[in-house]
């Protein structure tokens, strides 16, 4: 399997400011619509940390509504939603009041304020070429130990698919708990993928045991496991 792991590289040699999957999410403290929040206070929970390009903007408003409507799904997966904006907490509160008055929905998760873009810089959300029109929607899935497990970036013009974010969380949690992978277009309940062998010996063993394992194998490198069998595997 091709990996971006470089054997000679040590933790100290890697660029410190590079945000990537597998690294600890940089900690920060910010004021929010629910008081002062520090990212690390959510250790023990999964966190979906996502940026909103601007208060009172149309696409972002639909995202807050969608995240709120599916909030229970995130709670069921032990996921804390955390949104961040470059606007002030007063403006964030005003936006949430407006959404409540128009829809009756109370946004149940904090909107954090990042007025000086310190957090945005920490997470590489801004680059020298980016101007207002080029702001983007970044989302980071962070595991209970504080490690970044997925980074997803959308253009400002395209609202995120909340069901897709839940699906990615389901896939990552499945891998974490049961060590199975998930195929393209996978949905919970559908067959999952057995991680591929890493040695010739394992590959040959898998081939010879394909029939008795009960797994559906296209070849030694692509075997499916039934979902219910997989989630009963520890
Ligand atoms: C929006 O969420 O609709 C939006 C955000 C920033 C600039 C323009 C639109």
Question: Ligand 1 centroid to 157 CA: how many Å?
Answer: 7
Query: Are 37 and 113 part of one and the same domain?
Result: yes
Q: Is the pLDDT of residue 7 over 60?
A: no
Confidence of residue 5 (pLDDT cuts 50, 70, 90): very low
Question: Ligand 1 centroid to 42 CA: how many Å?
Answer: 28
Question: Ligand 1 centroid to 154 CA: how many Å?
Answer: 12
Could you tell me if residue 168 is inside a domain?
Answer: no
Domain count, the chain: 2
Q: What is the pLDDT of residue 10?
A: 55
Nearest to 183 by CA among 227, 144, 146, 152: 227
Query: Are 46 and 104 part of one and the same domain?
Result: yes
Calpha distance 143→99 (Å, rounded)? 30
Confidence of residue 186 (pLDDT cuts 50, 70, 90): very high
pLDDT tens sequence across 75-103: 999 999 999 999 999 999 999 999 999 99
Minimum mean pLDDT range among 23-27, 153-157, 165-169, 179-183: 153-157
Q: Is the pLDDT of residue 4 over 50?
A: no
**CA distances, 233 to each of 89, 180, 183, 212, 218 (Å):** 45, 9, 18, 17, 22
In order, the DSSP letters of 144-208 are TTSBEEEEEEEETTS---HHHHHHHHHHHHHHHHH--B--TT--TTS-EEPPPPSSHHHHHHHHH
Q: Do 30 and 119 touch, CB atoms closer than 8 A?
A: yes
Q: What is the pLDDT of residue 210?
A: 72
Calpha distance 142→24 (Å, rounded)? 8
Confidence of residue 1 (pLDDT cuts 50, 70, 90): very low
Q: What is the pLDDT of residue 129?
A: 62
Maximal CA-CA distance, the chain: 65
Which CATH number is 213's domain given? 3.30.1020.10
Q: Do 178 and 211 touch, CB atoms closer than 8 A?
A: no
Which CATH number is 56's domain given? 3.40.30.10
Atom of ligand 1 nearest to the CA of 58: 3
Query: Are 126 and 201 part of one and the same domain?
Result: no
Strongest mean pLDDT among 15-19, 116-120, 130-134, 145-149: 145-149
Q: What is the mean pLDDT of residues 200-229?
A: 88
Q: What is the pLDDT of residue 16?
A: 62
Calpha distance 35→93 (Å, rounded)? 11
Question: Ligand 1 centroid to 137 CA: how many Å?
Answer: 10
Of 57, 92, 95, the one to substitute when testing ligand 1's pocket (max ligand atoms within 8 A of C-beta) is: 57
More reliable by pLDDT, 17 or 115: 115
Query: Are 30 and 146 part of one and the same domain?
Result: yes
Last residue of a domain, one of 141, 160, 179: 160
Could you tell me if residue 178 is inside a domain?
Answer: no
Q: What is the pLDDT of residue 18?
A: 82
Q: Are β-strands 79-85 and 46-51 bridged in parallel, bridged antiparallel, or unpaired?
A: parallel
Q: Which domain holds residue 101?
A: 11-160
Query: Are 112 and 196 part of one and the same domain?
Result: no
Q: Do 195 and 223 touch, CB atoms closer than 8 A?
A: no
Q: What is the pLDDT of residue 233?
A: 81
Query: Are 123 and 228 part of one and the same domain?
Result: no
Q: Do 85 and 112 touch, CB atoms closer than 8 A?
A: yes
More reliable by pLDDT, 187 or 211: 187
Q: What is the mean pLDDT of residues 105-116?
A: 97
Q: What is the pLDDT of residue 13?
A: 59
Of 51, 52, 54, 120, the one to substitute when testing ligand 1's pocket (max ligand atoms within 8 A of C-beta) is: 54
Minimum mean pLDDT range among 108-112, 125-129, 166-170: 125-129
- Measured in whole angstroms, the distance separating CA 12 from the mean position of its chain's CA atoms is 26
pTM for the whole thing? Answer: 0.91
In the chain, the percentage of residues whose pLDDT exceeds 90 is 77
| Residue appearing with tokens 């609202």 | 159
Which DSSP symbol is given to 63? Answer: H
Q: Which residues line ligand 1 (CB under 6 A)?
A: 53-54, 57-60, 135, 156
């Amino acid at each position: 399997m091709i990996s971006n792991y470089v054997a000679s590289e040590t933790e100290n040699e890697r660029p410190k400011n590079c945000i990537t999957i597998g690294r600890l999410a940089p900690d920060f403290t910010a004021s929010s619509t629910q008081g002062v929040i520090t990212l690390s206070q959510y250790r023990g929970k999964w966190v979906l940390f996502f940026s909103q390009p601007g208060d009172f903007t149309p696409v972002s408003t639909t995202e807050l509504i969608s995240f709120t409507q599916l909030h229970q799904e995130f709670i069921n997966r032990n996921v804390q939603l955390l949104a961040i904006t470059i606007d002030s907490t007063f403006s964030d509160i005003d936006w949430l009041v407006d959404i409540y008055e128009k829809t009756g929905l109370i946004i149940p998760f904090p909107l954090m304020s990042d007025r000086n873009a310190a957090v945005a810089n920490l997470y590489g959300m801004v680059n020298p070429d980016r101007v207002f029109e080029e702001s983007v929607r970044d989302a980071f899935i962070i595991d209970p130990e504080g490690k970044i497990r997925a980074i997803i970036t959308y253009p400002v013009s395209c609202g995120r698919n909340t069901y897709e974010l839940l699906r990615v969380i389901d896939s990552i949690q499945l891998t974490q708990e049961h060590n199975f992978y998930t195929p393209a277009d996978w949905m919970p309940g559908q067959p999952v993928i057995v991680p591929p062998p890493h040695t010739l010996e394992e590959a040959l063993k898998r081939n010879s045991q394909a029939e008795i394992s009960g797994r559906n194998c296209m070849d030694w490198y692509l075997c499916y496991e039934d979902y219910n069998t997989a989630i009963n595997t520890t």
